[in-house]
Structure 1
Amino acid sequence: MENRSQWGSRLGFLLAAMGSAIGLGNIWRFPATAYENGGGAFFLPYLFALLTAGIPLLIMEYTIGHKFRGSAPRAYSQVSKGMEWIGWWQVAVSFVISVYYPIIIAYAIMYSYFSFGTQWESADSPTLFFVQDYLNLSNAGTFGSMVPHVLWPLLAVWALVFIILGLGIKKGIEVANKIFIPALIVLFLIIVVRAVTLPGALDGLDAFFKPDWSMIKNGQVWVAAYGQIFFSLSIAFAIMITYASYLPKKSDLTNNAFITGFANSSFELLAGIGVFAALGFMANQVDKPVSEVVDGGIGLAFMVFPEIISQMPASGFFGFLFFASLVLAGLSSMISISETYVAGLQEKFNISRGAAIATGVGLATLLSLFFANQGGLNLLDTVDHFINSYGVALSGLFEVVAIAWFAKSLKDFQNHANDVSDIKIGTWWRVCLGIITPVVLGFMMLQNLRTEITGTVDEETGELLFYGKYPVDFLFNYGWLVAVGAIFVGALLTLKKWPNSSDNKSKEEEGA
């Protein structure tokens, strides 16, 4: 497929890959995960996981995309006819994530505005401002009316995604990431430099880096390290296969994988420093130990950080910088997630890029409105948990087992990567993907399922609780059914035959 769209430069591809990997999870998931799993000691299993799973999987996905030069479903179908459904499964997972991901970006846009005048101070606490004044949050299962301050920025996010994707690979995605990623790094560096100079910052950094070596013996710490690497590198989202399919034929795949992997981890470390320096400052201000103010996820971004920002000098300015960095990190990931199904639809149904964007992104936009109401946060939390745990992680397990154990393609992919790369991969790479990664992912899935199904007992009430303390029927309807539905959609889309390659060539130039 000689006419396939291509990146304008190697830097353009790398920034796009980094933009996909560096997302909201780097800022609010990694610092808390590292702290809870041994602090400085966590970096040992984290680095081991990066070298034995993260980078090897990146190399494999880059190689698949580069070798077969197609969307994830088409590439998997060329590895083996029975594997196409895995590609569609991963595309369906990305589609689901793209439905709720812009909601978080919409929150960040509004909080960039709220930062001026630190408007959350109008409530008794930033937490109450977020859940009551801003979201007017209802109980799980009750969705209520639309929230205008979520709806309008949400539509603005989708308008920007439409424009960037519509401009194509070189003029749209590449140009956008050349702006977003340098800007994100500059903004976050300013935040980090300011955070580490605040009173109490050193206490926060000490809590973050102080190693608890006894945790190394705990298997859960190693599972957490692999989980962090897996979720933060955009592996098994169909993203890296799609992006690599736009690479020129002579591209250094292994070098690109190492650069992407270490760039992502470097930003996670930078985020950890900034977050814990700020948490140390907060602990100092309220005269509490750092352990009592640590949080992760949406709570860290929209409940804890506003409280920290309120106590900082020039609070409005630094609040804007922080939430603007969330917007940039979110947008770069959002674009990559959406590109997976745009490419898949374009190739499978032999339609123009514009038609694929209108169909895929248009449907995602409509569905995202279900998250813009009073019950949207509960829905988002539930869908995110299940689609990540039983969509991304499980499809990744199927991907590596299918390729390493059934298709037995690792040797072939190794030869392809080595033919175009300076850094040669060998037996270590095949052992990582054929043994270490499947075993760890399999163990992680079993642990997750056991916790999910058995629940936990509340120590105070003795009540059996499940994820998020949500009702069982809510978790089933909006968690399990969504995760299983992605698999069903993946299988359903394989029923349609691929058009002839010659039919697709006329479509490839569109959006180039």
Structure 2
Amino acid sequence: MTQIHDIKHAQTERNEWGSSWQFLLTCIGYAVGLGNIWRFPALAYEHGGGAFLIPYLICSLLIGFPLLYLEMSIGQFCKAGPAVAYGWIRPAFQGIGWSMAMLSLLIGIYYNVIVAWTLIYLWTIITGNSNQFSSCTNQFNTIFAWTLIYLWTIITGNSNQFSSCTNQFNTIYCSSSLEDLRCANELKTFGAFYFNRTCNFGNDTIAKSLKDKTFSILSAVSPAEEFFERYVLEKTATLSEFGGLSLKMVISLGLAWLFTTLVLVKGVEVMGKIAWFTGTTPYIIIVILFIRGITLDGAKVGLDYYLLKPNLSVIWLAETWRAAATQVCYSLAIGMGGLISLASFNDFHQNCFKDAFLITLADASTSVLGGTAVFSTLGFMSNQLNISIDAVVQSGTGLAFIAYPEAMSRMPGWPWLWQFLFFLMILILGIASHFGLAEVMCTALYDQFPFLRKHKSLLVIFVCLSCYICGLVMCTRAGIFYFNLFDDYTASFSMMLLVLLELVLVAHIYGLSNYVIDLQIMMGPAKNWLTRIYGPTGICIQIIWRFIAPLLIIVVFIFALISQIKTNKRTYGKDKRLYIFPEWAIVFGWILSMISLIFIPSLIIINLIKFRRKGKNWRELFKLQTKWPSYKRNLNIKQNRTVKENIQGGEMITQM
């Protein structure tokens, strides 16, 4: 049995978490993010409702949990981030880690924009203007940063803007049943309707004819949609029309990055303390919204579509499984390097197997619970408007920033309270996830260049400031188009390729038997028959790592690549407001997909040149490096095997 003193860490000066709970809550905050709230419910709706849970949970068990555990154990064992960890196993594969760091950075650039949006919403609510979400008389109607904006809208009491068409930013196309109801009360007549900032009698044929003709040119839009597009985004018509920077977006995004910078400068000690809040508060809010949602009139309409009436036929479709596997990897942040970086600050003997299971459980539970809260609320809105839920459900940003705010603005009692809680939850989830995304590149840089540790604060400021500057393109009036390009292309097939290479490197090149011994050194050998089968080094996890997970990832990677190749047209909006992206935007999207993968061949060339200068053979690129903690043990095993083979060869010669 290998002794602990055979393990030597190259990174000797490395901080550790204050407790195992701080690490666990930080990882939960990092893994459980906005995708659980707005991406999962929409995917479930598109792929059979409750039936989607079957492939999703299976993929969580066979892909999510095993790969989560693999990445966390790598970081914990070698006490280093992905940029150097894979290079210590085989220098030819060092590019995997740097690709992960770059992928996280690209995601972090647009992810913080959501936080900025949320801040604007919160500000609107706090200032008492939440009626703008349901009103057509607002002045402005004609994701971290987004989240901050939304939160500020709610906190300031302006959440009525989400449902009002009387704001200065509202256009003639703004239409709201709440405005019609207000007009009926004002005019004291049945059938009154709102149009062009005016209440009209139901028998006013001229106004009604003008309204019908206007809406035949362009379809009517809700106050919540005009609030998002005309006030928060100040959206232009096309991708090419930058329209200048939006001041409130620039400020909101700056606040989002400032907060990230301050936390990362302080390191894991502060991050761990903040995790007690960011890792628990969203769940309290989700439970509150869940209870409120299922008690609303019409909630069953949404729950029927989401859970209670599943379309089981979709289980046999390959696209359903691709969507489930991709969502699991994206939601758990697998292949992004963040989990490796966070786990590198662990105690060497931390039970990361248990941590990985709890994080996976928290992630799946949040998706199901959050989806239930969202769809029960949308069912309420469907019932209120007397329309099909198909007309209510939207995906992505539309679900979080248009459909859900409008639905909450119609709730009886205190609609501003539910709006505030929702956007506060989005803000916390966005912030907690963003810490991990930004940390990966910082860890990569000072792991690769140890002298930078002395200038950690400057390094963090440089990385965060650079990302902020890059994100300013999404603060322009055309920012939503660039946001969608980043969201669609950044973490597509490239993430699956990195996960596949990671599995091949550890399970097949380094050798699963070698890695199992490394794990036993960290967490001890199996103590009984149960742990020998299902434990940290059990038969089940070995079979999944060696055979099942690689096979599934290959299939998902192929489908993801084919899907992206086939989707040669990207759009925004719908019906007569549909905008088709130009061809150059698709090319830009492919560049985003490939840019992180450039590090793989680049690091092979760089390491080859480095080894040549040191007089080493190119074969060194495919050999275990001395900085890998168990290098000494692996060397002894190799020497013993060579001696044994020589002895056996000598005996054969003697017998001859």
- TM-score in terms of structure 2 length: 0.71
Task: Decide whether the 8 Å contact of 1:63 with 1:413 is kept in 2.
Answer: no
The aligned residue for residue 384 of structure 2 is 285
Return the alpha-carbon distance in structure 1 between the equivalents of residues 448 and 536 of structure 2.
34
Pick the aligned partner of 1:415 from 517, 520, 533. 517
Q: Do the aligned partners of residues 276 and 255 (structure 1) sit closer, same or farther apart at CA in structure 2, a change above 3 Å counting?
A: same
Residue 476 of structure 1 aligns to which amino acid in structure 2?
V
Q: Do the aligned partners of residues 391 and 219 (structure 1) sit closer, same or farther apart at CA in structure 2, a change above 3 Å counting?
A: closer
Residue 331 of structure 1 aligns to which amino acid in structure 2?
I
Local SS of the residue matching 2:490 = helix
Residue 161 of structure 2 aligns to which amino acid in structure 1?
Q
**Structure 1 residues 198-277: aligned runs within 5 Å:** 198-209=296-307, 210-277=309-376
Local SS of the residue matching 1:276 = helix
Task: Decide whether the 8 Å contact of 1:236 with 1:396 is kept in 2.
Answer: yes
Pick the aligned partner of 2:65 from 39, 55, 59. 55
The aligned residue for residue 116 of structure 2 is 106
Q: Do the aligned partners of residues 371 and 490 (structure 1) sit closer, same or farther apart at CA in structure 2, a change above 3 Å counting?
A: farther
The aligned residue for residue 410 of structure 2 is 311
Residue 369 of structure 1 aligns to which amino acid in structure 2?
L
Residue 304 of structure 2 aligns to which amino acid in structure 1?
D
Q: Which moved more, 1:67-76 or 1:396-405?
A: 396-405
Pick the aligned partner of 1:134 from 232, 241, 247. 232
Pick the aligned partner of 1:37 from 47, 53, 56. 47
Task: Decide whether the 8 Å contact of 2:96 with 2:599 is kept in 1.
Answer: no
Count, aligned residues? 490
**Structure 1 residues 329-348: aligned runs within 5 Å:** 329-348=429-448
Return the alpha-carbon distance in structure 2 between the equivalents of residues 336 and 490 of structure 1.
22
Task: Decide whether the 8 Å contact of 1:345 with 1:360 is kept in 2.
Answer: no
The aligned residue for residue 179 of structure 2 is none
**Structure 1 residues 472-491: aligned runs within 5 Å:** 472-477=583-588, 479-489=589-599, 491=601
Task: Decide whether the 8 Å contact of 1:253 with 1:417 is kept in 2.
Answer: no
Task: Decide whether the 8 Å contact of 2:75 with 2:82 is kept in 1.
Answer: yes
Pick the aligned partner of 1:94 from 96, 101, 104. 104
Task: Decide whether the 8 Å contact of 1:76 with 1:87 is kept in 2.
Answer: yes
Local SS of the residue matching 2:477 = coil
Return the alpha-carbon distance in structure 1 between the equivalents of residues 626 and 229 of structure 2.
51
Residue 415 of structure 1 aligns to which amino acid in structure 2?
I
Q: How far is 1:410 from its partner?
A: 2.7
Q: How far is 1:195 from its partner?
A: 1.3
Q: How far is 1:489 from its partner?
A: 4.4
The aligned residue for residue 463 of structure 1 is none
Residue 360 of structure 1 aligns to which amino acid in structure 2?
V
Q: Do the aligned partners of residues 242 and 409 (structure 1) sit closer, same or farther apart at CA in structure 2, a change above 3 Å counting?
A: farther
Task: Decide whether the 8 Å contact of 1:205 with 1:277 is kept in 2.
Answer: yes
Residue 107 of structure 1 aligns to which amino acid in structure 2?
W
Q: Deviations over 1:413-438 (max 9, x none)?
A: 33333440673333322332333323
Residue 515 of structure 2 aligns to which amino acid in structure 1?
F
Return the alpha-carbon distance in structure 2 between the equivalents of residues 455 and 492 of structure 1.
29
Local SS of the residue matching 1:29 = helix
The aligned residue for residue 388 of structure 1 is 491
Q: Deviations over 1:85-144 (max 9, x none)?
A: 010001001111111111110001111222323223233221122112321212123322
Local SS of the residue matching 1:250 = coil
* Residue 187 in structure 1 maps to residue 306 in structure 2: no
Residue 552 of structure 2 aligns to which amino acid in structure 1?
V
Return the alpha-carbon distance in structure 2 between the equivalents of residues 399 and 413 of structure 1.
13
Q: Do the aligned partners of residues 484 and 318 (structure 1) sit closer, same or farther apart at CA in structure 2, a change above 3 Å counting?
A: same
Q: Deviations over 1:292-322 (max 9, x none)?
A: 3222211101111121122112111111111
Pick the aligned partner of 1:119 from 136, 161, 182. 161
- TM-score in terms of structure 1 length: 0.91
Local SS of the residue matching 2:279 = helix
Q: How far is 1:346 from its partner?
A: 1.1
Task: Decide whether the 8 Å contact of 2:322 with 2:560 is kept in 1.
Answer: no
Local SS of the residue matching 1:119 = strand
* Residue 70 in structure 1 maps to residue 80 in structure 2: yes
Q: Do the aligned partners of residues 444 and 10 (structure 1) sit closer, same or farther apart at CA in structure 2, a change above 3 Å counting?
A: same
Return the alpha-carbon distance in structure 1 between the equivalents of residues 323 and 85 of structure 2.
30
Q: How far is 1:21 from its partner?
A: 0.7
Q: How far is 1:219 from its partner?
A: 2.1
Residue 292 of structure 2 aligns to which amino acid in structure 1?
R
Pick the aligned partner of 1:373 from 453, 472, 476. 476
The aligned residue for residue 325 of structure 1 is 425
Structure 2 residue ranges without an equivalent (≥5): 1-10, 125-153, 175-221, 525-530, 571-577, 612-624, 628-656
Return the alpha-carbon distance in structure 1 between the equivalents of residues 410 and 555 of structure 2.
43
Task: Decide whether the 8 Å contact of 2:86 with 2:97 is kept in 1.
Answer: yes
Pick the aligned partner of 1:362 from 465, 471, 477. 465
Q: Which protein is richer in helix relative to its size?
A: 1
Q: How far is 1:153 from its partner?
A: 1.1
Pick the aligned partner of 1:424 from 536, 539, 543. 536
Q: How far is 1:444 from its partner?
A: 2.4
Return the alpha-carbon distance in structure 2 between the equivalents of residues 409 and 154 of structure 1.
45
Pick the aligned partner of 1:438 from 542, 550, 554. 550
Q: Do the aligned partners of residues 28 and 482 (structure 1) sit closer, same or farther apart at CA in structure 2, a change above 3 Å counting?
A: same
Report % sequence identity: 28
Q: How far is 1:412 from its partner?
A: 2.6
* Residue 469 in structure 1 maps to residue 580 in structure 2: yes
The aligned residue for residue 507 of structure 1 is none
Q: How far is 1:200 from its partner?
A: 0.6
Q: How far is 1:445 from its partner?
A: 2.6
Q: CA RMSD in A?
A: 2.3
Structure 1 residue ranges without an equivalent (≥5): 459-466, 503-512
By relative contact order (CA 8 Å, sep 6+), the higher-ranking structure is: 1
Task: Decide whether the 8 Å contact of 1:65 with 1:244 is kept in 2.
Answer: yes
Local SS of the residue matching 2:97 = helix
Give 1 or 2 for the bigger CA radius of gyration. Answer: 2
Return the alpha-carbon distance in structure 1 between the equivalents of residues 123 and 601 of structure 2.
43
Return the alpha-carbon distance in structure 1 between the equivalents of residues 260 and 510 of structure 2.
38
Pick the aligned partner of 1:6 from 5, 16, 22. 16
The aligned residue for residue 32 of structure 2 is 22
Q: How far is 1:439 from its partner?
A: 2.6
The aligned residue for residue 563 of structure 2 is 451
Residue 234 of structure 2 aligns to which amino acid in structure 1?
N
The aligned residue for residue 254 of structure 2 is 155
Return the alpha-carbon distance in structure 1 between the equivalents of residues 391 and 546 of structure 2.
42
Q: Which moved more, 1:300-309 or 1:204-213?
A: 204-213
Q: How far is 1:233 from its partner?
A: 0.5
Q: Which moved more, 1:196-205 or 1:352-361?
A: 352-361
Local SS of the residue matching 2:76 = helix
Return the alpha-carbon distance in structure 1 between the equivalents of residues 558 and 240 of structure 2.
28
Task: Decide whether the 8 Å contact of 2:56 with 2:324 is kept in 1.
Answer: yes
Q: How far is 1:149 from its partner?
A: 1.9
Task: Decide whether the 8 Å contact of 1:92 with 1:490 is kept in 2.
Answer: no
Q: Do the aligned partners of residues 296 and 384 (structure 1) sit closer, same or farther apart at CA in structure 2, a change above 3 Å counting?
A: same
Q: Which moved more, 1:387-396 or 1:46-55?
A: 387-396
The aligned residue for residue 264 of structure 2 is 165
Q: Deviations over 1:313-355 (max 9, x none)?
A: 2111111111111110000000010110111111212202213
Local SS of the residue matching 1:199 = coil
Q: How far is 1:456 from its partner?
A: 7.0
